[in-house]
Amino acid sequence: MAKTLQENLTRQLHDSVVRLQQQAEKVEFWASAVTGLAQPVPEYTAEETAVSRYVKPRRVARKRRKRRAPNRNNATDAKPASA
């Protein structure tokens, strides 16, 4: 009976240590998350973004022109091929 009592206590101690390790991992995770959120947001500068490497400086975007539908009135004014 002493052996089973010792095994039971050993198993409970082991389970308690495992639960404590899991809780410590959760505490470390949330502590690092709170630390990251507590820092101020860095200032935004357009020159430091990844897209800025592909945009030419001081270039204004061109306006797009709408395509015009072909004028069908010109087709009726054309002479027939037989004339």
Which pLDDT tens digit goes with each residue over 30-75?
999 888 888 887 787 767 777 766 766 666 667 777 777 776 665 5
Rounded CA-CA distance 20/52 in Å is: 48
Q: Is residue 71 part of a domain?
A: no
Q: Is residue 52 part of a domain?
A: no
Rounded CA-CA distance 76/41 in Å is: 66
Assign 81 to helix, strand or coil: coil
Instruction: Please give the tally of structural domains in the chain.
Output: 1
What pLDDT was estimated at residue 40? 82
Q: Is residue 73 part of a domain?
A: no
Q: Is residue 28 part of a domain?
A: yes
pTM: 0.42
**pLDDT over threshold 60, residue 16:** yes
Domain with 8, as residue range(s), is 1-35
Q: Is residue 10 part of a domain?
A: yes
Q: Is residue 4 part of a domain?
A: yes
